[in-house]
Amino acid sequence: MQTVLITGVAGFIGSNLAELLLRRGIEVFGIDNFDDYYPAVIKQSNLNPLNAFKQFYFFKADIRNYSVWMKQMPASVDCVIHLAAKAGVRYSIMFPQGYEDTNVNGTLKAFELAKVLNARQFIFCSSSSVYGNNPDTPWDESALLFPDNPYAKTKVLSENLLYRQSVESDINIMVLRLFSVYGPRMRPDLMMNRIFESMASGASIPVFGDGNSQRDYTYIDDIVNGIYNSMRYDKAKFEIINLGNSYPVALLDVIKIFEDKLGQKAKLDFLPVVNGESLCTFASIEKAGKLLNYFPKTLIEQGISKYIEYRFTKH
């Protein structure tokens, strides 16, 4: 049986990824420190479906203190997938303290653990935010990086750290730059969740700027399938690959889709632009298609419908 360690397993992407792997017969060890960025009850809810699998093992701990709990791990794992991070582009701009230690030092500790566990592969989930406001879209993996907020800067630092590690280690390293992931178990601060919550309660939706900023929204099922495919890639010691949808959508258009699906008009509260956020994110996914057989299938209208259905089913 293949064995995988996932850091940040109780989060949005981590829990969805773990469930996919468990359903495919993979043994999953998960770690999460229940960071207080959002309520712990949400993370506990994310773990509930995973606890139904006998081959799932969870540690509530910090990756930076792995020596405390690693004795309960097997002697080796096939792959370490590092998702744990202090999240939030906008939050990092307002409250930058702690991002570098948690994200950069956390990545180093996760890689150290991968070496201790004799992993053959290390997958690091980076972010589209590393491209900043590079106007030359769509962004391929060789595009210039303009990380203009603390969160993005920690992702670039982590990528560079891992590249240096790849020169000295036998572990294959894959860096995946994820683009605006959405879907079931989405973090409460993410825009689509805010839209749904605001419309459900009759409150106004906060719109920063004129609403024409665009994001390459990518449905969670497409993302976790891309990560799963990356686990089987072994053709290079170090690789960087975008996982996106390659189809930017303006915020006002996203709100319009929610209006159509929910059958009601949204109230909008236009606010000043937040400096440090990208005006448009747009992934080139040609490399992902060639190397990982990654071809996202979920159109934005379909994805939002699935998310709305999940919210009504959950509540």
- Look at residue 100 in the predicted model and tell me its pLDDT: 86
| Other CB atoms within 10 A of residue 6 CB | 29
Q: Beta strand 79-82 with 3-7: parallel, antiparallel or unpaired?
A: parallel
Q: What is the DSSP string of 19-31?
A: HHHHHTT-EEEEE
309 vs 184, 262, 304, CA distance in Å? 9, 10, 8
Q: What is the mean pLDDT of residues 85-104?
A: 83
What mean pLDDT do residues 45-51 have?
97
Amino acid, res. 173? I
Q: What is the pLDDT of residue 92?
A: 81
- Percent of the chain whose predicted confidence (pLDDT) is above 90: 83
Distances (CA, A) of 295 to 60, 303, 309: 34, 15, 24
Other CB atoms closer than 10 Å to residue 308's CB: what's the count?
18
Say whether pLDDT at 91 is over 80.
no
**CA-CA distances (angstroms) from residue 171 to 121, 161, 237, 255?**
5, 14, 7, 43
Whether residue 37 is predicted with pLDDT greater than 60 in this model: the reply is: yes
Q: What is the DSSP letter of 101?
A: I
CATH fold for domain 3-181+219-244+283-297: Rossmann fold (3.40.50)
Catalytic residue among 57, 66, 151, 219: 151
Mind listing the pLDDT tens digit for each residue in 146-165? 998 999 999 999 999 999 99
Name the 3-class secondary structure at 315.
coil
Q: Is 151 a catalytic residue?
A: yes
pTM: 0.96
3 state DSSP class of 155: helix
Q: Residues 164-209: pLDDT tens digits? A: 999 999 999 999 999 999 999 999 999 999 999 999 999 999 999 9
